[in-house]
Amino acid sequence: MERNPTWIPVVAAAIADTEGRFLLQQRPIDKHHGGLWEFPGGKVEAGENPRFALVRELNEELTILVKETALVPIAFAESPPDNPSPGIVMQLYKVVEFQGIPVAEAGAGLGWFALAEAAGLPMPPLDVALVDLLAERAQ
């Protein structure tokens, strides 16, 4: 077994409305996992703090302004051990407060979904795991 495996850190946002629906983004069709729905976010750049990475991604992807102090870590998901290296560790932060109105980037879709609806959407594997985790906790 690798003693020091390399992981790609990915951060994602759980943004909920007052009815408990989550904001999900549909990846542009020409990208990896194109057409799949995911929690907004993206890769942490080399040397970047994960919270600042999520603040940056949410501004780039949705045009909203979030303070790093408005992010609360609530869950994570990781690629299975038999996944070709490097795997992904995806940290999910609850967004307590943000400024602006979320707007999708070019070619991407955006929507608010209850967890039960989200469970029926095509999603990449780690987003599926995170939706399952949130649904279990909500029971």
Ligand X SMILES: Nc1nc2c([nH]c(=O)n2[C@@H]2O[C@H](COP(=O)(O)OP(=O)(O)OP(=O)(O)O)[C@@H](O)[C@H]2O)c(=O)[nH]1
Least separation in angstroms between residue 10's CB and ligand X is 5
* 96-135 positions binding ligand X, by CB under 6 A: 124-127
Q: How far is CA 37 from the centre of its chain?
A: 10
Asked if 56 interacts with ligand X (CB under 6 A), we say no
Instruction: Please state the three-class secondary structure of 98-124 as a single string.
Output: CECCCCCCCCCEEEEECHHHHCCCCCC
Among 38, 58, 76, 91, binds ligand X (CB under 6 A): 38
Residue 96: partners with Cβ closer than 8 Å, 6 or more residues away:
70, 71, 72
Interface with ligand X, residue 42, by CB under 6 A: yes
Using rule CB under 6 A, residue 80 touches ligand X? no
Applying CB under 6 A, does 25 fall inside the site for ligand X? no
